[in-house]
Structure 1
Amino acid sequence: MRRGTRAGMTATTPSAVERAAAALARLRHARLLHPAGRTFAGEARIWGTPGPPTGVPLLDLPGRWPATIRLSKGVPTPGGWPDVLGVAVRLHRDPEPPVDLLWSSSGAAPVLRNLPLPRRRFTGTYSSIMPFRAGGRRLFLAVLADPESPDLGRGLAEAGAAVAADEPRLVLAVASAVGRWRPFGEVRLDDERGAAEDAALAFDPIGNVPPGLRLTGPLARLRDDSYRGSRRARGAAVSRAARRG
C-alpha cells in the first residue's frame, strides 16, 4: 500500500528536485541539461553483441530502425571550448514504444566510464555514465568514434557541416563494469533538423530504457526528476512510450 500511495502522489505532486529543475530551466529559457545542440535524422543498425549475449534483445538481436540523434554541449561553453559533450539517440520502433539512449563524453577505461569528461571535439568515447541493470549484472552503454567515418569536428557548427557533407557514423557498444567495449551496432547521421524541432525534442532516459534494462537507485530518481522538471518548464511532451513509475 505504501508503494502504491507514493506512486500515486508522485504522479500528481512534483518532487523538490523536479520543482528546482523546472525553475532553473525557466530561468535560462532552455533545457536545464545540454541546452545547446543540433538534431539530426538518421538510422540505427544493430548487428548484435559479439561473444556471450547480454540477455537484452535490443543489444543481442539484429535490427534496423529510423533514429533521431542530438549532439549537444552540456554547459554550454563558447565555440570550441572544452565542454561535457552529449550524444542522445531515439530509436523509432513503431509500433513499439521508442527507446531513448543518452551518453556523455567520458573516458574509455573502466575507472573513467562513470565520469563525465570535458572535450573539445565530437570524437572519442561517450558513456552512459550510470550503469544499467540487466538481471543481476551491471552494463554500461557507449557511443564510440568510428575511425573509418568522417570526423564530426570541433563544436556544433563543424558537426553540422560534417553531416551535410557526408554521413558520419558512431559505433554503439556495451561493456560490463570492468570489461572491454563490445560493438553491437552503429548510428548514421544524414539530415539536420531545424531549430524548432531541436527545441521541441524531449528525451526520457529513465522511462524509455530498452526492454530488459533498467536504471535504479537514488541517482536514477534524481535524473528522472531533473529531466521531468526541465520538460515541464519547456512545455515539452515526452514521446508516447509508457512511463515507468
Structure 2
Amino acid sequence: MLSRIVSVPFETAARLRHGRALHRRGRTYAATLRVTEPLPGLAAEHPYDVIARLSKALSTPGGVPDILGVALRISTDDGPLDLLFASTGRLPGLRHVLLPRASYTQGAYTTLLPYDVAGETRVLALLPTTRRTVRTGDEELNAEVAVAPLTFALATATLTGPWRTRGVLEVRQPPVRDLPDAFDPQLNRLPGLHPTGPFQSVRQAAYDASRRGRHEPAPKAGSMSRR
C-alpha cells in the first residue's frame, strides 16, 4: 500500500517534467575510487573507474540551495555497482534527513537507507575532504572540477556509530565514454554490498514510477547509453 501511495506523485512528476521526477538535470564526470579498507567486491589499494553524476533534486536555478545528489557507477570485477547519495546531516539521526545546500562540498551525503555490508547493517556516506566552496550552478561546478578534482571520503557507519573511512573518491573531468542510462542500486549491486531494510521496496517503487512517467523501459543491469 505504501509503495502504491509513493508511486503516484513520482509518476505524475515525471510525466509533467518529461524527464526524471527528481534530479532531472545533472553533470557527469569521470572519477576514481581508491579503496583504503576493503569492502565486499572492492579490494584495498585498487583504483576503480567510476562515473559520477552530480545533480540537484529540484533543479533550482543557478546557485539556489537544493537537495544535492551524487550518483556513482563503479566498475568492478563482479559487474557494475551503483551507489546513490543525497545531501543529509552527518550526525546520527540526521543521516536520514535530506538537507538543502548551496555548495557540493558543504556537508555529508548518505545513502539515506541502510546497506548490507558483508552481513552487517551500515549506512554509506561521501564526506567532502576539501575546504573549497563548490557552488551548485552548472558553470561554477564545471569550472571547479577543471581546476582540481573534487575529493570525498567513502565511509561507512552503524546507524548510530562514528564514520569509518573505507576509500577516497576523486571526481575529475567529464568522461568521454558511454554514460549510464540509469543508476539503480537495486539492479546494479554486489552480493555482499547491497541495500537492505523494509523501505527498499518503497524506493524501488518510486524509481519504477518515475520511469513509467517518462515512458522509459526498465533498465538492464549495467545498461549504458550515449546521452
With the shorter chain as reference, the TM-score category is: 0.7 to 0.9
The aligned counterpart of 1:132 is 115
The aligned counterpart of 1:43 is 32
For the pair shown, which has the larger CA radius of gyration, 1 or 2? 1
The aligned counterpart of 1:79 is 62
Flag the 1:176–1:162 CA change in 2: closer, same or farther, 3 A. Answer: same
Q: Aligned letter for 1:219?
A: F
**Among residues 146, 164, 181, which one is paired with 1:164 in the alignment?**
146
Alignment of 1:201-240 (within 5 A): 201-232=181-212, 233-235=214-216, 238-240=219-221
Please report the TM-score for the alignment, with normalisation by the length of structure 1. Answer: 0.77
Question: How far did 1:23 drift?
Answer: 4.0
1:113 aligns with 2:98: no
- RMSD of Structure 2 on Structure 1 (CA): 2.8
Distance 2:113 2:219 in 1: 21
Distance 1:217 1:183 in 2: 23
Residue ranges of structure 2 left out of the alignment (5+ in a row): none
Q: Aligned letter for 2:95?
A: R
The aligned counterpart of 1:52 is none
Cα-to-partner distance string for 1:48-86 (whole Å, 9 max, x where unaligned): 16xxxxxx4246744321110000101122221121100
Question: How far did 1:152 drift?
Answer: 3.0
Cα-to-partner distance string for 1:162-183 (whole Å, 9 max, x where unaligned): 1122222221111111111111
1:66 aligns with 2:46: no
- Asked if structure 2 preserves the Cα contact closer than 8 Å seen for 1:46 and 1:62, the reply is yes
Distance 1:136 1:191 in 2: 36
- Asked if structure 1 preserves the Cα contact closer than 8 Å seen for 2:59 and 2:66, the reply is yes
Distance 1:183 1:135 in 2: 16
Flag the 1:225–1:42 CA change in 2: closer, same or farther, 3 A. Answer: same
Percent identity for Structure 1 against Structure 2: 37
Question: How far did 1:192 drift?
Answer: 1.6
Please report the TM-score for the alignment, with normalisation by the length of structure 2. Answer: 0.83
Flag the 1:217–1:174 CA change in 2: closer, same or farther, 3 A. Answer: closer
